[in-house]
Chains A and B, each alone.
Chain A
Amino acid sequence: MAVLARAMKGRRTHLIVSTRRLLIGGVLCIAMLGVVSPAHAYDETSTGRPCAGCHGASVNDPAGPHGGYTATSKKCATCHSVHEAPADGIVLLPAATVLATCQTCHDGTGGKGVYGTIYARTSQQPVARHTMLDTAADPITAIPGGDGVGGGTRTAAFSGTAGGLTCSDCHSPHGSNLVDPFTGDRARSATDTAGLGSLSNFSSTRLLRQRPTSTDAAYASVTKYGSDWCAACHAGRLSWHELYNHPVEAATTYAGTGSAFTYESVARLTGVGASTTELGSLGRNNFGYVMPDPRTTQQSGHEPICQQCHEDARSVGDVTARTVDATEVFNITALDGAAAGDNPRYQVFPHESDNDAFLIETDNDLCLNCHKQPRG
């Protein structure tokens, strides 16, 4: 409820500042027309122009312009200009940085992008974000919990223009060496094979690399999105470490029988009010975010994966009810969770969140998803 309230407040603020944003947007548009640079920012849901008008046949390709290349596909030119690319662009891209290049499409236009979505919808800066300045002035090179031994921060050489973290550290823009597809919450047009407006297909790789931050073979290749994928950077946050972390299940530390939980395979409630679980995806419902007490057989010996605490902010119920609150059930009505009543609301994890540390809920509300109210 608190989340919903914040969302509503943000909506009001959004209306107040809309005039200013329009003015700024207009100036930016005029500026963009004055320079040689592809104008990729495009809201496919509002202009009425078919996506295929720019993207050709790739629009209904699950990979969009980011993979599935064949000799006769026409995707490369979506981002790269072989001739007459902007002078300050990198690798024939429309912008000077990877981040800026990605934002030519994923710029939060209409509050439906990645970075900037929360601000666009609420006029409030997100509380948490994977910061990617991707500039020479202030590259982000520190990984909190990146030290797999001491649990502290480690410094990494990312692939940003100045060595800082950027989009291509986690994502492969060319869809190469990706994790296995998983059913996530987020629905975007390019992953919707049934066509724009349908929410039937949420399974996608999200272009996540098997080896985030590095193509170095020394790093383990992660094919299943889950804790292990996060630990590629934040190794110091795993369980059974000399530092006392909240238990987290990862294949690298799992000692039980069977397979460790991954995002696509966790024990989740079988339905509203159910006390039984089934193995399924954490995505597209809130049934995996609560753990009934007592635990089910499927949960025995397992710990929660990172995403069971860190995901898009949402309301998932609590363990006391042994169920997901029917009023807080996962409920997406529009692409990108753009509808005011959507739960989760923004679908931008792990880029930004209006909860600290990308927690799905805050304070006790989070703990009570799995832990009963202490007695006494």
Chain B
Amino acid sequence: MGQDRDTAVETAGGAAEERAGSRGRGVFAVVLLVLLLLCAITTVIQTLTLDGEDEVVRGVIENLECLQCHTDLIPEFDRDVVHKPFMAEQCTTCHTPHGKIETETTISGAAQSIKRIRTLVEWLPVKVIVDLLSRDGAIAGDAGPPRRVTETPVKGPTSELVLPATELCMMCHGDMGALRNAAYPHTPFANGNCLDCHDPHASDFASMLTIAPESLCVTCHPMGSELSRAQAHAPVEGFHCTNCHDPHGSAYKGILVDSQRDLCFTCHPSVASLSGMAVQHGPYANDACTDCHEPHGSDYMPLLRAEEPRLCYGCHPEIETDFRKVSHHPVGTVTLDCTGCHDAHATNYAALLHDNDNGICYDCHARPIQTTYDASRHKNTPCWGCHTPHGSNWGPLLKAAQPDVCFPCHERTSFDDAAGGHKNHPVRPVYYDVNAGSRLTCTTTCHGPHGTSHNFMLRHYDSPQDGNCLICHAVTPGDRVGVDF
């Protein structure tokens, strides 16, 4: 039992100690919290009230001598951004003092008389002697009659900067000096005309710009016409010029902050991801985004320098010639442009096509062609085996006139009676296809080059079923092609 009581007492004592420790930690935490709160309040109050005033007061005090005359600068201290030398140092950091104190000393008695006489005889050759006497008098004056000295500040005729204006800023901002030798410096910066953009004392805008950044650049580089176009580049629209341009100088044309590719990739990562592809458009590969794109504003989406296909024709004039041929892809219409087939940046397929082999053609022509073509004997012949993609003098976009376009693969003598060797059914358009109502070719009525459900790629019937012949030759009356000739 006694042992149990001891144990109970020990247990009660331990609990008391634990409560005491916990209470101590709580008090410590409260004290710490109060201290932090006081610090925060102090900081806020100082920020809101005291600091600014202090800076202003300090600045005025530092430059009190200058501000006696340049009172107009006093409000500058109250602006959002104050140039450090102006604020924390002295005006003479940049300016040579051009004011002076004129001191007037009034001497009583003989000294005053001597001064007057000296004034009168100042023109006399004896001036030197008078001066000596005067000096002696001055010396003697220290112990002589009482005199009254009056000092009056007087503004001098000129004020000078401590260095030429084009060099002055570099005195402190020397780290920017290298930019003056950049391949593409900003002209004001290159000429040392920093004040074209910056206020030397204080500004309400970052970097001490003379006016709001969204207004500053356009004072020299008006963007009104760019912004009035159908599409404005977002940074231009927001006047974030320095997103792309370095205001001082750059190694990149246009004073860009980076190469065109890398700069554009910053905001357009989807284009950046194309840079690893096998086939790249020349301007894209050669860091010339602006060959195609207008960086500020454009009437042609997406910020193109001209509408398609005119933009493309600028570098590919021969393609324009093709598109003017009798048979041509309807490029330039509302439904098809160059980029309908080609990627303007990069792809993994030849000619910057969006897809491989016939896939690019099937993007549009899949429904009527793909199923039969891929099941036909022509399936291993790419579309461009027979067709040219842009324009041709022989429709539909054929590389050569029919039947010549067939003969690279099909022995001419077996199909063209003009070749000699055999007679063949006419296949040349000098004949008329009464069924198709057009000039006769291999494919007008007989064969479907994209595949059919019949043998020999016949359009209508299997060979040798007579339906193939009767389509035209059952025309009655038909002295020309009818069977009763």
Chain A contacts to B: CB under 8 angstroms: 36, 69-77, 80-89, 92, 168, 172, 174, 176-177, 215
Contacts and interface: CB of A to CB of B under 8 A. Distances in A.
Interface stretch (B73-81, B345-353, B465-473): B465-473
A64 to B, nearest CB: 13
A71 B424 contact: no
B446 to A, nearest CB: 8
Q: What are the 9 tightest A-B residue pairs by CB atom distance, in nearest-first order?
A: A71-B467, A176-B484, A174-B483, A77-B464, A85-B423, A76-B469, A84-B422, A82-B425, A73-B466
What is the interface residue range for chain B against chain A? 20 to 34
Contacts of A174: 483-484
B45 interface: no
A87 B485 CA distance: 22
A36 B464 contact: no
Given A72-B466, A76-B466, A92 B479 contact: no
A69 B466 contact: yes
A168 B470 CA distance: 19
A82 B424 contact: yes
A240 B446 CA distance: 55
Nearest to A211: B484
Contacts of B446: 82
Contacts of A172: 484
B483 A215 contact: no
Contacts of B413: 84
A326 B9 CA distance: 162
Contacts of B467: 70-72
B453 to A, nearest CB: 14
B421 interface: yes
Contacts of B465: 71-74
Contacts of A72: 461, 465-467
Majority DSSP secondary structure for residues of A touching B: loop
A213 to B, nearest CB: 13
A172 B415 CA distance: 28
18 contacts: A70-B466, A71-B460, A71-B461, A72-B467, A74-B465, A74-B466, A75-B466, A77-B464, A82-B425, A82-B468, A83-B414, A83-B415, A83-B422, A83-B425, A85-B424, A88-B423, A176-B484, A215-B485
B356 interface: no
B463 interface: yes
Majority DSSP secondary structure for residues of B touching A: loop
B484 A80 contact: no
A87 B464 contact: no
Nearest to A172: B484
B484 A87 contact: no
Contacts of B463: 77
A87 B420 contact: yes
A173 to B, nearest CB: 8
A71 B454 CA distance: 13
Contacts of B414: 83-84
Most buried by A among B421, B422, B446: B422
A87 B466 contact: no
A71 B470 contact: yes
Contact of B421 (A69, A70, A76, A87): A87
Interface in B436-479: 446, 460-461, 463-470, 474, 476, 479
Contacts of A215: 479, 484-485
A72 B468 CA distance: 9
Contacts of A84: 413-414, 422, 424
Nearest to A93: B423
Given A70-B467, A71-B467, A83-B414, A176 B483 contact: yes
Contact of B422 (A69, A73, A86, A168): A86
Interface in B411-430: 413-415, 420-425
Given A76-B468, A83-B425, 4 more contacts: A69-B469, A84-B422, A176-B483, A215-B484
